[in-house]
Structure 1
Amino acid sequence: MVGRGERVAVVGPSGAGKSTLIGVLTGSVTPTAGAAQVLGADPSALSGRALRRLRARVGTVHQHLELVGPLRVVHNVNAGRLADWPAWRAAWSLLRPQGLPEVLDALERVDLADRVFERTERLSGGQRQRVAVARVLVQRPELVLADEPVSALDPALAGRVLALLTELAAERGGALVTALHDPALALRHCDRVVGLVGGRLVLDAPAASLSAADLADFYGVGA
């Protein structure tokens, strides 16, 4: 269980099930056993409008980003607010971008304000990753789910982006659940660490009770 205000890092070797867990929480993966409760609902039991309403309350940074390359950065960022906009406003925004001050503020926070009108496909991998984060920033969700949100960023920028995501989750008293490959980032930015190996939960402890050596031992077990 993840409580309101918690910052939970999900760690584990490649293939441990981190992305699958995030997928179950977003409703894009149906569990073969058991069920997940997200903001009081089971995503796998929802469809159509009910699932869209739940996803509007959850901000997700996907591992594969799910950006539309030919669109300009402003449109990909504004996609974080489509659930709150009527169809006419979403369509009009493609011609005349709406909410530009909020988009620029989000992009400024991830050092991309100068790329607001650039085609997204022209950006580097790390820049596209930051666009995906900016999309969640404008959404202002109740829960933030992030699957390797800083994998393409240098250490300094990775720390800043994780700090932004934790601040965003805290703004509405929500929680952050993020899959991370770097144990140091997990210990620095999260207050709880959950470890998976082969799809099984083998570690669940407060970050303050763990050391870098503890996580090194954990990865040794999972290797």
Structure 2
Amino acid sequence: MEVRYGDTLALAGLDLTVGAGERVAVVGPSGAGKSTLLGLLNGSVTATAGSVEVLGTAPGALSGRDLRRLRARVGTVHQQLELVGPLRVVHNVNAGRLANWPTWRAAWSLLRPQGVPEVAEALRQVGLAERMYERTERLSGGQRQRVAVARVLVQRPDLVLADEPVSALDPALAERTLALLTALAAERGGTVVASLHDPALALRHCHRVVGLVGGRIALDAPAAAVTPADLAEFYGVSA
């Protein structure tokens, strides 16, 4: 399978299977194709050649209600967060449930927020309980990153995709946040695929490490078989 952006080859010769319940860390140098891989899994990126199957379905073959159902089962913490700054935190967290809500409920929730107890609990878990009604644009970068995580917590998806989900957090918050995401998946028998910039976090929170270099898989091994020194060397590989 491959992905091209014009003349640029973002992913090449990719052959990867992730089983239900796995926690997979995707690592590699900047520009290696990590975000493109996660985009393939949430349907925002289309393969130029080859095929992609997510939760037993080919995203590219879906439209309308079927695509909406698939998106309800896939939760993404985007690297750019994809939050609406002028909206209050409660609305951005509730966005994780829009695929499961009828249009009238989503519209009504902008006037009178729905599911407030669940939103409050998710925000409590990420340490932002007191920020629920604050405008999201007033938060710090790290706080906004935690809002994006809370959005996935209320969504409760079968597949969690996280693109550098703790890059703006201090070490203690990073550990806690990754633990929340992996616990969410574990309690539902779900799967986590996370792009991580910290090798130590990858080894502590994931079962398997997949490394990309230049859009190709250069490493695929159980986390228990990989050492921090291995990953340090891997990150030093030039794409």
What range is the shorter-chain TM-score in?
over 0.9
1:45, distance to aligned residue in structure 2 (A): 2.5
How many angstroms apart in 2 are the aligned matches of 1:75 and 1:165?
20
Deviation at 1:86, TM superposition (A): 1.6
CA displacement 1:64-104 (0-9 Å, x = unmatched):
11111110000000111112212221111111111111000
Find the partner of 1:62 among 78, 82, 86.
78
Local SS of the residue matching 1:221: coil
Q: AA paired with 1:6? A: E
CA–CA distance in structure 2, aligned partners of residues 139 and 202 of structure 1? 33
The answer to whether the 8 Å contact 1:29/1:44 transfers is: no
The residue that corresponds to 2:56 in the other structure is 40
SS at match of 1:40: coil
Q: Secondary structure at the match of 1:181?
A: coil
Superposition pairs for residues 53-202 of structure 1, below 5 Å?
53-202=69-218
- The two structures have a TM-score, normalised by structure 1, of 0.97
Tell me if 1:52 matches 2:36. no
Per-residue deviation, 1:47: 2.7
- Partner Cα distance (1:106, 1:140) in 2: 11
CA positional deviation for 1:155: 0.9
**8 A Cα contact 1:24 1:44, kept in partner:** no
Q: CA deviation at 1:111?
A: 0.2
Query: Does structure 1 conserve the Cα–Cα contact (< 8 Å) formed by 2:88 and 2:135?
Result: yes
Paired-residue identity, % = 81
Measured against aligned partners, the alpha-carbon deviations of 1:146-188 in whole angstroms (never above 9, x if no partner) come to: 1111111111101110000001111210100000111111011
Equivalents in 1 of 2:152, 2:170: separation in Å? 20
Q: How far 1:59 sits from its partner (Å)? A: 0.8
Whether the aligned pair in 2 keeps the contact of 1:12 and 1:222 (CA below 8 Å) is no
Coordinate RMSD, CA, aligned? 1.0
User: TM-score under structure 2 normalisation?
Assistant: 0.91
Instruction: Map Cα deviations across residues 104-135 of structure 1 (whole Å, 9 max, x no partner).
Output: 00000000010000000100111000000000
